[in-house]
Every structure is written in C-alpha cells, then in structure tokens.
Amino acid sequence: MTTTTAEYPAESHVFEADVARLLHMMVHSVYSDKDVFLRELISNAADACEKLRYEAIATPALLASDADSRIVLTLDEEGGRLLVEDNGIGMSRDEMIEALGTIARSGTRAFMERIEASKQGEGAQLIGQFGVGFYSCFMVADRVDVVSRRAGADSAWLWSSDGKGGYSVSPIDVSEAPVRGTRITLHLMDDAKSYTSRWSIERIVKEQSGHVPVPIKIAEKPGAEATQLTDGTALWTKSKNDITSEEYTDFYRGVSGQYDEPALTVHFRAEGRHEYSALAFIPGSQPFDLFDPDRKGRMKLYVKRVFITDEAELLPRYLRFVRGLVDTADLPLNVSREMIQESAILTAIRKGVTNRIITAIEKQAESDKDAFLKIWENFGSLIKEGIYEDFERRSQLLSLSRFRTTASADDYRSLADYVKDAKEGQQSIYYLVGGSLDQLKASPQLEGFRARGIEVLLLTDSVDSFWVTNAPEFEGKSLKSITQGSADLAQFKKQDQDKPESESASAEVQAFLDYAKEKLADEVSDVRASDRLIESAVCLVASDQGYDRQLEKILQGAGRLESGAKPILEINMDHPVVKAIAARADAPSLRDDAAFLLLDQARVLDGDKPADPRAFAERLARLMERALQ
Ligand SMILES: Nc1ncnc2c1ncn2[C@@H]1O[C@H](COP(=O)(O)OP(=O)(O)OP(=O)(O)O)[C@@H](O)[C@H]1O
C-alpha cells in the first residue's frame, strides 16, 4: 500500500539546538577544502549498503533482484545539482527525523565547543581534520533534498532543508524514489558549481574514496548511463606489497573520519588455527572525542567481507584510539552480535591483533623515535590504562611507556633509562604525581631527591594515580611515591658536598617537633624530621598504609572517598625558621601560631588551601605584627 498524503501531511521540524549550531558553523566555515563533504556522503552511502548486506543475511528478500551494492553520483550541470544515490538500507520516516535532525555521535558537542573556542582559522582546520558527517553538505549546497525508501518498505520519504532553521519531511510517491536506498540531491551554491564537473568529481573520489568497499559509478547527466569510477575491492584483501601509502591513507581517512595521516599502519593476514585479515591504524592526531566516557572502540568486524558490527570489542579498551577492521572467514555469516561477544574465535583474534599492534608500536619506538613520541604524546595516557587493565602485557606496556622526569629536560625517559642511571643501592623507582609539570617541579618533596641526584618520574596524567598502585615493579625495582611513607634518603650522598648532612636533631628542635605533634594531633597523624627537604621548611606526605595523597584527592573529588587519611607533616630540621622557632620555648603563643602556620604552608605547597582561612589570616596577622613592632 502506498502511503497517502492525507495520512501523513508534510511536516515542518526545527533542528535540535546542537544541529543548528553545527550547521551555522558549517555555513560560515572558512574552511577552504570543501571537498570533504563528498567523502562524508559516500561513506554514509557505503555504510548503508553494508547494513543492508548484513540484514539480508537473515532476510534475503531485502535484496530482491538487485543484489549488487553501488553508489551512483549524477552530475547535473544545467540544474546546478549533484546527486548521490545508493541502493543500501534506506531510511524510514522516523529514522530520517532521528538521523538528520539530531546529532547522535558522542563527542560532537565537545567538538563544537572546541571549534567555537578556537580562533577562526584553527576551527576551520578542525572541521577539515575530523569531518562532521552529513551536515557538511551545507558547506556547498543551499538546499539539500534526501529521498529515501527503506529496504522492504512500501513507502518513501522526502527530507528537505536549506540548512537554516529546520527541515520538512513529507511522503512521496514510490515511483519518484529509488527502489531501495537513498538519493541525496545537493542544490549547489554559486561558488560550488564545479562539483558538477566530471573531472573534479572523479579526482575527488579517487583521492578520497578510492577504497570504499562498494563500487562507485558516475553519470554525466541525469538519465545518462553510469560508468564505473572505483571497483569496490576491499583494500585489506590485497597484498601489502601491492598497496601504496596513499592508498592506505585514503582508506584510513574513510574508516576513521579523520583527515590526517595515520601515525602507524598495521596490516597482516593471520594463518593457522584462525584465519583473518586485520588492517589497523593509529591516528596521527587525537580524535576529538577521545576522552568521552561513552566512547567505544571503533574496530569493525567483517565476516567474509560483509560488515557485521563495530561493537565487537576487537581490542582491549585501552586501545580504543586504534581504528580499522578485522575480516574473518572463521565465524558464520549469520552469527548474532550477542554471540560474537562470547566467541572463543573472537577472543583469539583479539589477542592476535592486540599483540601485533603493540609489537608494531615497540618497533616504531626503536626505529623512529620521533614518530613514536608523537604516538605517545597523543595516546600515552590511554596506553598507561593498559598497565592496570592488561595484566598479561603489563611489563611490555611499562617498557613502552615514556615519562618526563627530573632528569629528562624536554625529552622523555623510559623506565629502562631510569634503571640504567639509578644510584647504587637504589631499590625504588621514585615518582611524584600531580596536576601539572610546573607544579610538580616546585614540590618541596623533590628537594632531597634533587640534591642527591636521584631521578624522579613526574606524572601528570589523571590515569597515573591509578596504574602506579598496580604496577609495583620494573626490573626488580618497585615504584614508590615520594609523597608517601619515609623517603629513606639518608643512605645517598648529597651532590653538593658543601652542605653537610644534617646532624641528628638538636634537643631544642626535637622538643618543638614533639610540641607541634601534640598541637596538630587533630589534623596530622605525625610530625617528624624530614630527609627529603632542603630549601623548604615543611611538606606533607601520606603514611605508608592507605592511598597516596594525589590518588586520595582524585577519589575524594569523584565522591568515592568520604574523608582522606590524616597526612604526616615533615619538618626540615635545618631550616632557619624551624631553628628560630625551636629556640623560643619562652613564647608559647608564638610557637602555637608557628606550628599551625607551618602546617598551612605545607598545604599551600601541596596545591591546597589552609583548612581554616580565618584562623590562618589571624595567625599570620599576629606574626606580622610581632615582626613589625
Ligand atoms: N545514505 C544513507 N543511507 C541511510 N542512512 C543514512 C544515509 N546517510 C545518512 N544516514 C543516516 O544518518 C546518520 C547521520 O549521518 P552522519 O554522517 O551525520 O553521522 P554518522 O555517519 O552516524 O557518523 P560518522 O560520520 O562519524 O560515521 C547516519 O548514522 C545514518 O543513520
């Protein structure tokens, strides 16, 4: 039964707020390389063909008599139009409203915010780098009509918009729609009329979409016979030696939706117990939604070249920045998506692909340090998640990790570098976790390590607080936070021989320590002499048991820990202020204020605030008054 207009009159809809924002950005984009719109449309068309092939496994009738997927581009120079048509799955009315009136992709909002916050030129570059799907056609068209008929349905729909405030959806006679699939008509803007020239379309398709796994045809005018532009051969089925790096890049761009160069390409065919091909890429830059909590891996699973799903978890979570696909003949075509998750074959494939990717990164680290460091800068924080998630590969991932350290200057150091240069008798790999490198470099806790030339890893990624607690060892040395427990530095000589090692505390200073311990008992668990301080008077450390201070702050911030453990206040027994206060046993109120002020000073050095700002201000005022009198 054909849908009647009386049942479904033409409806007007306004765009969801985010779509409107995105469209505004597209239309006003100064991005010069507008060609990218065609890649987006072709990629959607190819996805639609792949979805149909998948649904047709269970319902072969969907293919009817037209089994071969294709994408046809029709040029209409006279009418100033470009048509992109596929015989894929098509869209129902509701699917159209959902897909072309809202933004489903996670992270798009974050992406838009980045574009809006950036300077004009940079924002435009971002658009070019990532592409923004269907809506990019409004960079070249002032009206877009989408006619679609879902496979197996007896109705067809027209979606139409000028890309400004909204769009309309109306039923149209099936005789005006493709038998199955979607036809998108772009009414080109005056400065975009070159997209009706065969020469430019052919160039763009070959450059951008030459390896889309659905054949692309071109018709020079409406009604003309279409000739083939690309044959739809799946790139991954070819031998590595027959593929140029341009072809890989083109394919990567299609599969990742990013328009940069891949930083690393891993392409192999596994034979033996399980047979499959894998083609995986590490992107050349961070995808904009990399840190979106909903972001999933984007490796596609094909069975005998039929796309099955991109939710098969073909890689461990921490490798979710890798894009690409696995194609296997070992799974049955009609395997359900649920069964896939539990399949032993898939587990074996996951292991094989993960190993190959990590080995490829390791090789890159050896053969091309700069290229590897770019990967590390973009994705190191994710790779480090693997240190606590992937027990089997922990030591491999630790070896791969690179760090800023007190000895690295602007370069990176590996744990192997660290161990090679460790002091004689040094049992631990020391680290300090915090929010930024500058803050870490200014930490009082570092002073004693610096003075003795002991290297300390400076860790600033939020994941660092977690993996360090799980990876206690590298080449026999345990990882140890310099803000937790005792520093045990006395066994190492200071490099600056002029400064004598501190003698055991004088009785006076010791008495002040005991006094402070009693006074501050509500706020700290201990007050003790420090061997990690040189210039600063005080610092806070966590006790050996429990969490390190930085992790405690993160857990508290996330509401996963109610209150932190009391820290330990360490005091520099050689510090002139400490000595001077210790000498004033005759002035109890002064000692009292000093004890609390020293604690607050340690808090501030830790990036915190004084616990009681008012009491702090009063104590400070009293002290200044005394000094000024
Ligand atoms: N030719 C088409 N056939 C069927 N559905 C389509 C077609 N073009 C677009 N769509 C639908 O519109 C949705 C939105 O497309 P859009 O390009 O904006 O984002 P996307 O394809 O989901 O994301 P990405 O570009 O990151 O893959 C698609 O997910 C799909 O459901």
Domains annotated for the chain, with CATH where assigned, are 11-230 (3.30.565.10), 235-374 (3.30.230.80), 403-481 (3.40.50.11260), 507-628 (1.20.120.790)
Q: Which of 119-133, 173-187, 305-319 has the highest mean pLDDT?
A: 173-187
Nearest CA residue ID for atom 12, ligand 1: 99
Cβ of residue 36 lying under 6 Å from some atom of ligand 1: no
254: Cβ below 6 Å to ligand 1? no
User: Higher-confidence residue: 10 or 270?
Assistant: 270
Given a cut of 70, whether residue 148 has pLDDT beyond it is yes
pLDDT band at residue 327 using 50, 70 and 90 as cut-offs:
very high
Cα(373)–Cα(399) distance, integer angstroms: 14
The finding on whether 105 has its CB within 6 A of some atom of ligand 1 is yes
The per-residue pLDDT of the chain, averaged, comes to 88
Question: Is ligand 1 within 6 A of the CB of residue 69?
Answer: no
Reduced to 3 states (helix: H, G, I; strand: E, B; else coil), residue 501 is coil
- The letter for the amino acid at 208 is Q
Q: Is the pLDDT assigned to residue 457 strictly greater than 90?
A: yes
User: Does the structure show a pLDDT above 60 at 500?
Assistant: no
221 band by pLDDT with thresholds 50, 70 and 90: very high
The two three-digit tokens of residue 183, written as one number: 């036809």
Is the reported ipTM for this assembly greater than 0.90? Answer: yes
- For position 46, what pLDDT does the model report? 93
At 381 the pLDDT is 94
CA of 346 to the centre of ligand 1 (A): 27
Has residue 293 got a pLDDT over 90? no
The string of pLDDT tens digits covering residues 301-310 is 998 888 888 8
Side-chain-side CA neighbours of residue 148 (13 Å): 24
Give dist(CA 143, CA 317) in Å, integer: 41
Share of the chain above pLDDT 70, in %: 91
Measured from the CB, is residue 182 less than 6 Å from ligand 1?
yes
Using the structure block, give the residue that is written with the tokens 């690179």.
Answer: 402
pLDDT at 122: 65
Is pLDDT larger for residue 107 or for residue 578?
578
531 falls in which pLDDT band (50, 70, 90)?
Answer: confident
Residue 373, pLDDT above cutoff 60: yes
Per-residue confidence band for 2, with pLDDT thresholds at 50, 70 and 90: very low
Higher-scoring residue by pLDDT: 385, 110: 385
pLDDT reported for residue 307: 83
Tell me, using a 6 A CB cutoff, whether residue 171 lines ligand 1: no
Average of per-residue pLDDT across 564-586: 91
The finding on whether 45 has its CB within 6 A of some atom of ligand 1 is yes
Q: Is the pLDDT of residue 496 over 70?
A: no
303 touches 332 (CB < 8 A): yes
Kindly report the number of other CB atoms within 10 A of residue 206's CB atom.
Answer: 14
Q: Which of 468, 344, 330 is nearest to 398 (CA)?
A: 468
Residue 257 has pLDDT above 90, yes or no: no
Spatial separation of the C-alpha atoms in residues 152 and 64, rounded to whole Å: 9
Pick the residue whose CA is nearest to atom 25 on ligand 1: 133
Residue whose CA is closest, atom 7 of ligand 1? 44
Q: Is the pLDDT at 204 greater than 80, yes or no? A: yes
Q: Is the pLDDT of residue 517 over 90?
A: yes
> What confidence score (pLDDT) does residue 131 get?
61
d(CA 173, ligand 1 centre) in Å = 23
* Residue nearest to ligand 1 atom 1, measured at CA: 45
Which band of pLDDT confidence, cut at 50, 70 and 90, is reported for residue 503?
low
Helix, strand, or coil here: 481?
A: strand
Retrieve residue 536's tokens.
């600063």
Is the beta carbon of 555 within 6 A of some atom in ligand 1? no
How far, in Å, CA of 529 to CA of 566, rounded? Answer: 17
Query: Collapsing DSSP states into helix, strand and coil, what is residue 259?
Result: coil
The pLDDT of residue 348 is: 94
Q: Whose CA is nearest to atom 13 of ligand 1?
A: 99
CB 40 near ligand 1, within 6 Å = yes
CA 359, 364, 368: angle at the middle one, nearest 5?
Answer: 165
Does ligand 1 have an atom closer than 6 angstroms to the CB of 157? no
Cα–Cα distance for residue pair 85/73, rounded to 1 Å: 6
- Report the atom number in ligand 1 closest to the C-alpha of 88: 3
For residues 381-390, average pLDDT: 94
| pLDDT confidence band for 103 (50 / 70 / 90) | confident
Please tell me the predicted confidence (pLDDT) of residue 1: 40
pLDDT in tens, 437-448: 998 999 999 999
Average pLDDT over residues 231-241: 91
Distance 133 CA to ligand 1 centre (A): 7
Q: Is 220 in the pocket of ligand 1 (CB under 6 A)?
A: no
Nearest-atom number in ligand 1 for the CA of 133 is: 17
Answer yes or no: is pLDDT of 4 > 50.
no
d(CA 499, CA 442): 21
Q: Mean pLDDT across the stretch 375-400?
A: 95
Q: Given this model, what pLDDT does residue 129 score?
A: 62
Mutate to test the pocket of ligand 1, among 16, 18, 19, 44 (most ligand atoms within 8 A of CB): 44
**77 CA from centroid of ligand 1 (Å):** 26
345-356: per-residue pLDDT in tens?
999 999 999 999
Q: Is the CB of 178 under 6 A from ligand 1?
A: no
More confident residue, 291 or 397: 397
Helix (H, G, I), strand (E, B) or coil at 327: strand
What's this model's pTM, rounded to 2 decimal places?
0.80
Q: How remote is the CA of residue 104 from the centroid of ligand 1, in Å?
A: 9
- All residues at 6 or more sequence positions from 185 whose CB lies less than 8 Å from its CB, including other chains: 81, 82, 83, 144, 145, 146, 147
Percent of the chain whose pLDDT exceeds 90: 61
Please determine, for residue 121, whether its predicted confidence score (pLDDT) is greater than 70.
no
